[in-house]
Structure 1
């Protein structure tokens, strides 16, 4: 294909392979975000986008049959990567669902909302524990920086903070009640057993 030849495929072999990997992940029900694929392969996002469209043309594949990224799967991966306490994941899922239902982050992508949801949970948890003078517990004192969350999720730090600022005024609406109670308690109940709030 002339369009592919014009892009010098022999010099950009890595970019083409990464684009194919992105398509295959979506096709085989294990979708990843552009940011995750690019970070793993150490290539720029903009270059992958161009090759991704060309690969779709060459494979004569439409995006209709390709599975989209599930934000809840992303949240699970990110919380696991950052080794966050188990109760952060269900709380972040609840925040992202409620924020989407209330349309609080209009114009922001689901990835940014997911990252901001984790940051909101971490910040609120720490804030509540400080306010209540809870004893120091290395297993449950969460000091996750917005930079680390942004890097793990593959979003720009400024985008994460912007999305977080949209969520922050609605913190009591977005967070499940059990999360705030657990933050202020002695955490005698195992948080891993807590259900995901809908």
Structure 2
């Protein structure tokens, strides 16, 4: 059973997660500690006139989309030109279509969600850099999935990926894979200093952390980078690999969230050894009050952190 700090009991207690309501409840006193439901929301609306599908569903939050994917979609009657023009302004329309296509391929191949998430992330990078413009979209989706499988050590044959991509030609897939790998190699060369921060979102996603926790972790990591360059206060000099700093920041933020994580959980998600996370955490702990955003945790909350 999960544990969390209860403000009424003044201690860490076992909590009950009610997924039907999105409530996190203290098992001792019954206090609702958190009310957040990030799963898909199903609703049914009556439409007797046009006999359209009355079901409306909103996807769960997605950190790769603007506003974390928490967007309302409007059903557009064929006669409504104004609403059609409004819907065309959605900046995530292309990404949503891409993610759905990648998800469908993953379902056909029985792939785990971590592979799907990485494939989505690769495609998002291509889209942000405008590198996917004018290319065969289906081939790009399939190539991103192929590379994600490779990177997560669960490789699939090109023949399998082609089948999942509606019998895509192997030659076209191979060309797309080569193009994406060249782009990824170049982007890594151009941005090695910020690559660890780029992985932070995915690590948090693997741990199932909330959007607020992810934002807090990003801000905290950003402060470690800015502080080394210039600050009026004493320098936060953390002489550790960036990926180790990211892992220790995530561990710190996770302790302050409603869903506390063990150091081994963070190690599994980031690939950093628990001993390394612990040593890096010992170095950043003295700066916790400067690193953790005040809107996320106050001085009293920081006392809940593990003290080295």
User: TM-score, normalised to structure 2's length?
Assistant: 0.34
Structure 1 position 141, deviation (Å): 2.0
Deviations along 1:47-92, one digit per CA (max 9) or x if unpaired, are xxxxxxxxxxxx9xx9798344633321110111111121111111
Report the structure, 1 or 2, having the larger strand content.
Answer: 2
Distance 2:190 2:259 in 1: 33
Which of the pair is proportionally richer in helix? Answer: 1
How many Å separate the matches in 1 of 2:196 and 2:188?
18
Query: 2: distance between equivalents of 1:168 and 1:116?
Result: 9
Which residue in the other structure is 1:176 paired with? Answer: 293
Residue segments in structure 1 that go unaligned for 5+ positions in a row:
1-24, 31-35, 43-58, 126-139, 185-198
1:76 match? 201
Alignment of 1:44-193 (within 5 A): 66-68=189-191, 70-103=195-228, 104-123=236-255, 125=256, 141-181=258-298
> Structure with the greater relative contact order (CA < 8 A, sep ≥ 6): 1 or 2?
1
User: Are the counterparts in 2 of residues 119 and 146 from structure 1 also a CA contact under 8 Å?
Assistant: yes
Q: Deviations over 1:5-39 (max 9, x none)?
A: xxxxxxxxxxxxxxxxxxxx7x9699xxxxx9997
- 3-state DSSP class of the match of 2:152? helix
Residues paired across the two proteins, number: 124
Please say if residues 238 and 283 of structure 2, whose CA atoms lie closer than 8 Å, have aligned partners that are also in contact. no
Gaps of 5+ in 2: 1-121, 129-147, 155-181, 229-235, 302-308
Q: Retained in 2: the 8 A contact 1:146–1:157?
A: yes
Separation in 2, partners of 1:158, 1:99? 20
CA contact (8 A) 1:115 1:153 kept: yes
Larger Rg: 2
Q: How far did residue 161 of structure 1 move?
A: 0.8
**Please, what TM-score do these two structures have when normalized by structure 1?**
0.51
Q: How far did 1:173 drift?
A: 0.7
**From 147, 153, 169, the counterpart of 1:41:** 153
